[in-house]
Amino acid sequence: MRRNTTKLSVHAKTRMVAHRGLSKMETENTAAAFIAACNRSYYGVETDIWRTADHKYICNHDGASGRICEENLVMEQSTLADLQALVLKDIDGNTDRNELRLCTPQEYRKICEHYGKICVPELKSNFTLDEIREIISIFDGYLDNTCFIAFNIDNLDKIKEIRPEQECQFLTGKYTDDLPEEMAKRGMGIDIAHSELTEERIKAFHDAGVQVNCWTVDDPERAETLIGWGVDYITSNILE
């Protein structure tokens, strides 16, 4: 059966971000998932970046490949060549599509740039300042169309140390009353679990001049509520 996105009837000013590419249609963090998202109306395409054992970089959500592959390799303990040799499972669980492979950030950036989409790379490893410089260089020439996100705020602080004007969003699963002011001080947006948001909390962020992204919303009714509250971005596996 042909798969497709679930289209929202109203977007207002809310922009949609495809989570790990269009990951309910194609295996996450593959060129197929990125291209599927880029061929639709998404504003941005999210991915995840790990350091490899040979100090290269790879796009994958988990710290190991086992959930999406028959072989379980640890990202930070494996070479880039070994990780890219993996053939990933299709959505149906079969490994019969040779093109389903992990991407490098360079490949991801090139796909997004080719289709004119915003890059939203999540920084997964605890990167050094030199590694952050290398990652920034991967997106050089497209940095104005890139928004870095991370749960480890030190990664984002390093981004800001090198490029103070760079767009960043701090990932969190918990709202606290000090978050709007803290994000405003750091010059960052917030990317928060959607269940933590209320209309009042979105207003608190906006009053502090902080943009609000939220993850991961696949229910159309919930998305429409968030849109009504004025959330700036919604990250989704399937909603368009």
CATH code: domain of residue 93: 3.20.20.190
8 A C-beta contact, residue 176 and residue 192: no
What's the whole-model pTM score? 0.98
Is 218 among the domain residues?
A: yes
In a domain, 2, yes or no: no
Which bin fits 199, alpha (ψ -120 to 50), beta or left (φ > 0)? alpha
Among 234, 45, 227, CA closest to 147: 45
7 is a domain residue:
no
Amino acid type, 119: C
Q: In this structure, how many other beta carbons lie within 10 angstroms of the beta carbon of residue 31?
A: 20
* β-pair partners for 170: 150, 190
Banded model confidence at residue 3, pLDDT cuts 50, 70, 90: confident
How many CB atoms lie under 10 A from the CB of residue 86? 20
Q: Provide the domain limits for residue 206.
A: 15-236
Residue 8, domain member (yes or no): no
**For 45, phi and psi rounded to 5 degrees?**
-130, 125
Helix (H) or strand (E) holding 84: helix 80-84
| Domains in the chain, number | 1
Q: Are 14 and 231 in contact (CB under 8 A)?
A: yes
Pairwise CA distance, residues 207 & 10, whole Å: 24
pLDDT confidence bin for 80, thresholds 50/70/90 = very high
Q: What is the percent of the chain with per-residue pLDDT over 90, rounded to a whole number?
A: 98
At residue 1, does pLDDT exceed 90? Answer: no
Q: How far apart are CA 222 and CA 141, in angstroms?
A: 36
Residue 196 lies in a domain: yes
Question: Is residue 188, in this structure, part of any structural domain at all?
Answer: yes
The answer to the question of residue 149 being in a domain is: yes
Structural domain includes residue 1: no
Q: What is the pLDDT of residue 222?
A: 98
- Residues 178-236 pLDDT 10s: 999 999 999 999 999 999 999 999 999 999 999 999 999 999 999 999 999 999 999 99
pLDDT at residue 2, rounded to an integer: 64
